């Protein structure tokens, strides 16, 4: 018998088992589901199955046929595995971790429900023929025990520290550097990209540094490169404000982590930023691409300590109330129950 509305569920979590942001998501969600009283078990492919995930899915299906099936199967973007598991007719939920939509023949009809993290993904699946009521937008969560306000053990010096996280060509970092001449009281720290030892050969890093030199602000630009994850909470806490200048795509993890550390977020308005930041309460958002407005917003945040404190406190509360892993796990559980109910309805005989 399938789990009822308030009963303990048996969940098969299908993951790659390799290091990376997706696996961090899977590990945190599995832990949070267990904390809610569910039995969540992670399954990863054997070395011989990595090149043939369809075989991995068939092995799991055969195992469940012998040992008893879970209430719901949760797959993380592995289409060939998902198609194999769909044949079991168990309730199947799929989370899409990629920004871009996936091929139509791999997803349509395979999953009972698809979890995405932003509207762009939702629109992409809609265009592929997935019905709106089979798609839920649920953001990633944040570990509010690990990312929390506390002692600042990384000193940024006499200048205000603006922190940007991520290093890709579309991140709008050139806008930030162009804003620096108008923010003489601030330094810009950028975390992300290659390891620190390889920064001198990275083309994007060199372009950013060249622009900073042209604007005479290279002494207020600090490129950290790839930062170990265990150092990120301290880095967030060392910042007076986190800035986001990505205008499309991507996810909101860095914004959530900064907010959980009590750091306000300032930056360009995008779908992810609007879902995460309450402009005027937990930070300040400006029109995307408007460097003047971005400069004014950063100046406002940096010039008034009490404003930063109020925004930071509100940011922490929002992270706890909206993005903590127990809350995200609760939302995912509701998706599981909807998938179970849908599967039962399709299997139930129709009275005429």
Structural domains of the chain sorted by starting position, each given as residue range(s) with its CATH number in brackets:
10-141+324-347 (3.40.50.2000), 160-322 (3.40.50.2000)
pTM of this structure: 0.87
Residue 281 pLDDT > 70:
yes
Residue 181 pLDDT > 90:
yes
Helices 291-303/305-322 angle, 10° precision:
100
pLDDT digits (tens, 9 = 90+) for 187-208: 999 998 888 888 888 999 999 9
Radius of gyration from C-alpha coordinates of the chain: 22
Q: Cα(338)–Cα(159) distance, rounded to whole angstroms?
A: 51
The sheet carrying 160-165 orders its strands as 221-225, 186-191, 160-165, 241-244, 265-268, 283-286
DSSP 279: B
The closest alpha carbon to 78, from 54, 99, 100, belongs to 54
Tracing tokens 């006499």 back to the chain, one arrives at 158
The per-residue pLDDT for 345 is 65
Number of Cβ within 10 Å of residue 334's Cβ equals 12
Helices 53-67/79-86 angle, 10° precision:
30
Band of pLDDT at residue 351, cut at 50, 70 and 90 = very low
Helices 21-35/325-347 angle, 10° precision:
80
Instruction: Identify the H or E element spanning 324.
Output: none
- The DSSP secondary structure of 162-200, one letter per residue, reads EEEE---GGG-HHHHHHHGGG-TTEEEEEE-SS-GGGGG
Highest mean pLDDT among 43-47, 141-145, 147-151, 340-344: 141-145
Tokens, residue 298: 């950063």
Cβ neighbours for 162, distance < 8 A, ≥ 6 positions apart: 176, 183, 186, 187, 188, 189, 239, 240, 241, 242, 243, 298, 302
């Amino acid at each position: 018998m399938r789990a009822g509305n308030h009963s303990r569920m048996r969940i098969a979590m299908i993951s790659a088992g390799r290091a990376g942001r997706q696996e961090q998501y899977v590990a945190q969600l599995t832990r949070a589901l267990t904390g809610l009283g569910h039995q969540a078990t992670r399954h990863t492919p054997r070395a011989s199955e990595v090149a043939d995930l369809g075989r991995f899915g068939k092995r799991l299906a055969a195992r469940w046929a012998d040992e008893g099936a879970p209430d719901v199967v949760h797959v993380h973007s592995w289409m060939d595995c998902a198609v194999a598991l769909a044949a079991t007719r168990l309730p199947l939920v799929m989370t899409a971790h990629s920004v871009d939509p996936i091929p139509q023949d791999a997803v349509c009809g395979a999953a009972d429900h698809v979890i995405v993290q932003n509207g762009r993904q939702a629109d992409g699946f809609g265009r592929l023929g997935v019905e709106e009521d089979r798609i839920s937008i649920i953001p990633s969560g944040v570990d509010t025990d690990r990312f929390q306000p506390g002692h600042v053990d990384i000193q940024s010096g006499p200048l205000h520290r603006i922190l940007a996280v991520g290093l890709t060509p579309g991140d709008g970092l050139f806008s930030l550097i162009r804003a620096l001449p108008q923010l003489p009281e601030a330094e810009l720290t950028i975390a992300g990209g290659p390891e620190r030892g390889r920064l001198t050969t990275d083309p994007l890093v060199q372009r950013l540094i060249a622009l900073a030199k042209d604007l005479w602000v290279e002494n207020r630009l600090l490129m950290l490169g790839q930062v170990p994850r265990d150092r990120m909470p301290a880095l967030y806490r060392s910042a007076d404000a986190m800035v986001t200048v990505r205008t499309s795509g991507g996810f909101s993890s860095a914004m959530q982590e900064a907010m959980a550390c009590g750091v306000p977020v300032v930056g360009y308005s995008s779908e992810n930023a609007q879902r995460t930041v309450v402009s005027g309460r937990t930070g300040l958002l400006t029109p995307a691409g408007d460097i003047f407005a971005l400069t004014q917003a950063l100046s406002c945040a940096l010039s008034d300590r009490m404003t930063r404190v109020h925004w930071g406190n509100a940011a922490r509360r929002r992270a706890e109330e909206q993005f903590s892993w127990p809350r995200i796990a609760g939302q995912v559980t509701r998706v599981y129950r909807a998938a179970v109910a849908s599967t039962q309805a399709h299997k139930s005989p129709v009275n005429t």
